[in-house]
Structure 1
Amino acid sequence: MGILSLFRRKPVETRSSGSGYTAQIMAARESYISGGSGIGELTATVQGCVSLWEGAFALADVQGTNMLTRAHMALLARAAALRGEAVMQITGDGLVPCADWDLSTRNGIPRAYRVSVSEAGGGSTRTVLAAEVLHLRIGSDMVAPWTGIAPLRRAPLTAELLHQVESALRDVYRDAPLGSLIIPLPEGSADDMATMRAAFRGRRGSSLVVEGVAQATAAGMNPNLGKSPDQLSPDLSKSMTRETLEAARDAICMSFGVLPGLMNKATTGPMVREAQRHLAGWVLQPLAELLAEEATAKLGAAVMIDVGRPLQAFDAGGRARALAQIIEAMGRAKELGLSPKEMESALLSVNFGGGDNLA
């Protein structure tokens, strides 16, 4: 080493960010090598759950901003359900959905984004600060808190099971000789039997194989004894495909926060209302609170999003009875001459007032 080494340029270190075109190619290659997986979103069960998320967010009451339109809310819900996160750029014309993005962080908090916006004539890439985008994330973990994880990615085994069962049933109903029979015919020449077999060949749901009476009798199927012809249709009941399919569907519904009873063909009205209440209260309203918190920080105004009221996700009869009892209790308290402080103490004892340190 000499003095000239001090003036040499150091090699530039480049790193892959884990997203973008190269990452997509690598993911596609991995899927090709390891086999199809994580494609449970192709099933009607998943799409039904996603539609519930999408419809609930489209109906939600948004206060404090007019940028979160119903179309944007539906896009956010669908992206969160299938991808686990959604990014929209804040512009003067409104929110712009982003098809793909890359970001840089500090202390695990996003600082800047490189977003890709889809256009009819070709997409464009833009670099924006974190304050210029709305980023909704669900299912984040401590390893990468700046990314979200979709419900299906959190339950890959169940998604794969549902996909395999429905694919197997599709293949059976597409390729199996359903409704086909083996029927006996009177003995004839070899040419006549070959001609008869060729006439039935390829006719699904009819007689695919023809055999002589002698062969049928030797096989224990004597046509003269009232023995029915042999069926070529596969017996799927022994494979427990129905039970497996129902169990996989129920598990997928639970991963999206949808009670399996909602999909039951024997469900009743109270069960439907309870399933809607559970979905709105334990799944969608927390997501709405996360989105409202993000919008409040980025849009500069207090944003509130309510999913429960538009969906009527509450017991209307129970609320009416509770209101009647509260009014009766207030009238009774007035008759007894209770002071406001005593009334407030009574409300705090049943968690009806603020400052009880229970919420």
Structure 2
Amino acid sequence: PDRMASGSVFRRYEKEPAVASSLPSSQDKGEVDYKHVKGVKSSAFSKNWQTSSGLSALDSALGGGITVGTMLLLVEDSPTRCFEHVLKHCVAQGVQHGHRILVCGEAGRISDEVPSLIENDGEEQVRQKLPTSMTEKDDELRIAWRYKEAIQQQSKLKPQSAGPSYCDRFDISKSRPLSADTRAKYFREVPVMDEDCQDSKSPSSHFPFSRLFDQVKNAVKSEDKLCRVVIPSFGSLSWFSPGRPRQSCENDLLVFAKMLKGMVRKSRAVVMMSVPAWLAETDAGSRLMRISDYVLHLDSLAACDAAVRQQYKDYVAFAHIRKVLRLDCLSAFTPDSLHYLIKLRRRTIQFDRMHAANPE
């Protein structure tokens, strides 16, 4: 027995020293600070903090929202261009919460067509249920008398001012122009690459996105609140340096994406970028998807055959979840469905779960 007790089999467990981690945990970013940041909440599946994408259906599909310190990749759909609505909702939600918005590249329609907020949507639904005159006869109302009393009591209640919403609803049919004060305080546009790289006609060893990365890094590190980095059409022809081979330009894109991901991991920021569909089909696009934390592939119904378009005639595009974040949790979040249908209604954009077989 003494020999067994002194053997190495019954060695006492000793806690190993902690190793620095690059994961976006709440302890690394300061849990106390995030409790006072508007538009940020704790995840129900892990200890990470999340912010809304501006679309409640997309937040539910991603496990509650976009985790702070991560990068979401959108594969663009053409010609429906639903990815622009997703980017606009991300910008609109950031403006509503007072977050810093940093748009890299051609902002154009992203900044000029920010959807307006739908206010008092619940009160409008209640007002529609109320009859024109509460003194009408019982035979004209034609509903249960208990339900009639409930409507009368509900109409007498004063609307209570609710707290700030995590995810608001926006009207895509109305765009609100950003005031000069809002643009100066929350909004900023950054050019893609240096002017000397754009004017250069010969290959250069200079990294073309060094100034862009420094500007994003300085903007993110100097912010006490959350910063939303939006990059539309990442990897399009405007990101390629003239006079350089395509392989070198694609390598520069991958290096910039890795540097951006490493920088965002330790900061109060989220990144939402979109890539063209032709780039997603290349080897560089596959590597870019592996770098990203979330991947949402949008596919237009216009590219499908007539039978598929007739089957989903009320919709405009598919939305396929290719990758979901799995960090800092024992039981990773698994979406109820990986395939959704996008419908453009008169005022809102709608994500419906697909119950039929995937047409791919």
Larger Cα-atom Rg: 1
Greater fraction helix: 1
Higher relative contact order structure (alpha carbons within 8 Å, sequence separation ≥ 6) = 2
TM-score normalised to structure 2 length: 0.22
> Normalising by the residue count of structure 1, what TM-score does the alignment of the two structures yield?
0.22
